[in-house]
Amino acid sequence: MKVFKFLAPLLILLFLLLGNLAVPRMHRETEFLMDTVITVTAYGRHGKAAVQEVFWRLREIDAKFNAHSEKSELAKINTAPENTPVSVDKEVFNLIKSAHIFSTAAEGLFDITLLPLNNLWGFGTENASVPAENELKNTMASVGFGLITLDAENCTVTKHKAGVQLDLGAVVKGYAADEALRILKEAGVESAYLDLGGNVAVMGGMPQSLWKRIFSGQKTRPFVIGLQEPDAPSGTAIDTLSLTDGFIVTSGDYERYFEADGVRYHHILDPKTGQPAQSGLRSVTIVSENGLIADMLSTALFVAGEKEMPVLYDLCRQVITINDAMELTYVK
Ligand code: AMP
Ligand code: MG
């Protein structure tokens, strides 16, 4: 009886230990890239090598698309004179082309040439301020996706006005998330969770401990992702979403903003006015099987607002494949 008294806790401990050992190893790395904190978590024995490969790729994407780095492919276009075809890397060309097609579909709501406006407002810098009306008007003159043409055969971009500058801030993180999941899958990772500054990508579901597997009969369970409550400290969830495979992308007015005279000026601009979009929404979240489309759509739908959303959605459907499984949720 005495022996049992000692053995019982030991057995329970062993039982719990074995149960947890049966959970695949986890590898997690965090790095600041694309102007945001990126965390990649992968489970299983391929995890470490795969996560390192993902970061190698994310650094490459960041280097090519960073509009604020002089050495990027984007800077080559942004500093080029007008009416001069600029030859760019094929990957860069293809992403600009996809975003240009989307800009056309979402005309007036989404535009990849907003960098001059973004710089004028100074979002994310210490010099953020409300521009004077004439400054805004002058800057607007070099904004518009119609001011660039693309030549797919030669992979060139031509600006038709001096001062036109591309900003793929609403596009690159979604594309990077697509690339990250592709790399993880190819490396043999079965379960992973990525956080790209609030944009989440998951695959395979969250591995369960042995006990949970026994009791639920499931090897994994969906990842639970919190949706940020706009005015609460970062990490406070207003709601949660469960997802096994796919992307959850949010555009919100709380992500980057400054306040002047009691007014909040946020980073998602209405291309028609050059001012922060005033659609009455605080955030738009898309759940999708495609990170790039989710990223572009979340920004455009934020600008569109609740009433115009169905119209924009239908317009976009005409040029891009929107999977029927796509879900949309928003905060007013
Ligand atoms: P997101 O957080 O994905 O909604 O993207 C916001 C970023 O996209 C901003 O920081 C700008 O760089 C850029 N952006 C802002 N407004 C627009 C817009 N209407 N269309 C396209 N890009 C935009
Ligand atoms: Mg976006």
What's the pLDDT tens digit per position in 213-272?
888 888 899 999 999 999 898 889 999 999 999 999 999 998 899 999 899 999 999 999
Q: Look up residue 318 and give its two tokens.
A: 């005409």
Show contacts of 212-219: CB within 8 Å, 24+ apart. Answer: 213/22
Q: What is the spatial distance between Cα 248 and Cα 201, in angstroms, rounded to a whole number?
A: 6
pLDDT at 80 over 70: yes
Is the distance from the beta carbon of residue 220 to the nearest atom of ligand 1 less than 6 Å? no
Ligand 1 mutation pick, 35, 266, 269, max ligand atoms within 8 A of CB: 269
Amino acid at 89: D
pLDDT at 3 over 70: no
Q: Tell me, what's the pLDDT at 59? A: 98
Q: Tell me, what's the pLDDT at 133? A: 95
pLDDT at 325 over 70: no
> CA of 87: how far to CAs of 80, 150, 158, 185, 228, in Å?
11, 10, 9, 32, 40
Strand partners, 246: 202
| pLDDT, tens digit (0-9, with 9 covering 90-100), for 133-146 | 999 999 999 999 99
Band (pLDDT 50/70/90 cuts) for residue 327 is: confident
Ligand 1 mutation pick, 268, 282, 297, max ligand atoms within 8 A of CB: 268
pTM metric for this prediction:
0.92
Q: What is the spatial distance between Cα 226 and Cα 43, in angstroms, rounded to a whole number?
A: 21
Tell the residue nearest (CA) to atom 20 of ligand 1.
Answer: 110
- Mean pLDDT across the chain: 92
How many residues are given for the chain? 332
Cβ neighbours of residue 208 under 8 Å, at least 6 residues apart?
23, 216, 218, 219, 220, 221
